[in-house]
Amino acid sequence: MGNPYLSDCERRSSIYQKNNIPIFFIAPFHDRNCQMNIFDSIENAHQERYEKVKRIRANTF
């Protein structure tokens, strides 16, 4: 079985990201692993949006 706390952390991070709730409401500060996973997923989401906008702009002009 996997780590149930980590999956709960991931579940919470996706809920908080969708609602744009600041990172420090998500995980206790002593839980660095959970926080770093959340930071990574937020960065990846921003990067995907940026790439999408870049492609749209490139095709527009």
Contact 38, 27 (CB under 8 A): yes
pTM: 0.38
Exposed/middle/buried for residue 10 (C-beta within 10 Å: 0-12, 13-18, 19+): middle
How many Å apart are CA 7 and CA 2, to the nearest integer? 8
How many Å apart are CA 10 and CA 2, to the nearest integer? 13
Query: SS3 for 21?
Result: coil
Q: Which amino acid is at 6?
A: L
pLDDT in tens, 6-59: 566 666 666 666 666 555 555 555 566 666 776 777 777 777 887 888 888 888
